[in-house]
Structure 1
Amino acid sequence: MLRVDLNCDMGEGFGVYSAGSDHELMKYITSANIACGFHAGDAATIRRTVKLALANKVAIGAHPGLPDLAGFGRRVMAITPEEAYELTVYQLGAVQAFARSEGGAVAHVKPHGALYNMAAKNRALADAIAEAVNRVDPSLLLFGLAGSELIQAGAAIGLRTVSEVFADRSYESDGSLTPRETEGAVIADPARAAEQTIKMIRDGEVRTRQHSPFILQADTVCVHGDTPGAVEHVIRLRAALEAAGITVQRAGV
């Protein structure tokens, strides 16, 4: 039986600023990646998003990013493996504390934005992030780009890894995501996004921007909460998955 987790980045507002449609999106996903305060989020937002996830029986994940609020964590920064370790432990601890205080628990960790993409290719950074997760709680799932260094680093240290694919992003021939500044990097058409996702789950491959196939494993699918029409995207994606006989359930169960 084919099955897949459906995750979304959430809690990415701060202060008086809100981002995304978390209340609506939470009804259709199975895992929430909650911003930890570096690229977005703050104490009140983390707590509110944790409570929302618990109310909807959605798995809670920590979504650590680079300390770049102005750039939403999507700008590359030169950091050392030691810094990657420390910022992961720090941010994971914040979400973990709020989850416990509300009667829940963190289930997974997924790096955000530039940190995610850096760890996908840089083994030293990947090892540092995996070590941080392992030392805080070795039972946590580590989400990473399918086929990436982060998935390999997590597996090497004994963590349970979850290979992630993206419904609303195009791919390059090496399996990396097309840079956002490139035309066509974000897939705006819900039908096309659903078609790509089903192919990744069923066939284990994606058609890249260079028109070549890339083989991958699809354990969880990401939909971005800040994509225009995100709610429509996730509603149509979930319906398409279920119509294709693919069970949507949280990772690790």
Structure 2
Amino acid sequence: MSDILTISELDCFYGEVQVLHGLNLTLAKGEVLCLLGRNGAGKTTTLKAIMGLVPAAAGSIRLGDRELTGLPAHEIPKTGIAYVPQGRRLFAEMTVAENIEIGLMTRGKGKAVREAVLDLFPVLRERLKQRSGTLSGGEQQQLAMARALCVEPQVLLLDEPTEGLMPSMIQKIRETVAQLRGRGVSTILVEQRVDAVLSVADRVAFIENGRNRETMPVEALRADPSAVRRYVGVG
């Protein structure tokens, strides 16, 4: 399986504080890769660096053969990478339809893409005229994902998508990620909940102090969960 995204020796700073230290990471086409680690380990910073929201002080981020390092943040979605940040970041006063339209405008997509996205999230079709701020948490997460998918991404970045959701909504998010994998979309998933990862991920990368300490197939993690205790601190 060929790699679609390659991060090599990536250093990132917030001011004078270094957050990523020579981070190396690969994502294969159609793969779901989960980033696990303690709070402050650098997981969210990794996603922001891919999106150009945190500049790379050194190293390389490549999508296929294309170097992304140094591209302005507004250009990254046009390359085929979509980002759903923690907290969803919807336009609360806008309707569901208007939020989706913003996603479509990013890459000039049209009605066919809109319909395909709504087919993934049927509940949103029933809420098109509703203000997004009045949706439930699970519906807001679905809308955030729908808006991101309007760019028809090759790579989808999800930061804590199950946070604060009831079990039925967590299951819906899992099912959607699995559907996208079946369509060839590659996903990097940042999660704190190990149980939310095991059923959907192909590999797990353990991030500690801004470094990728270990990457393993999810089957190996199921057989020996000691890495979770070592890097995350839970059983």
TM-score normalised by the shorter chain: which range applies?
A: 0.3 to 0.5
In the superposition, the TM-score normalised over structure 1's length comes to: 0.36
Higher relative contact order (CA 8 A, sep 6+): 2
In the superposition, the TM-score normalised over structure 2's length comes to: 0.38
Structure richer in strand, relative to its length: 2
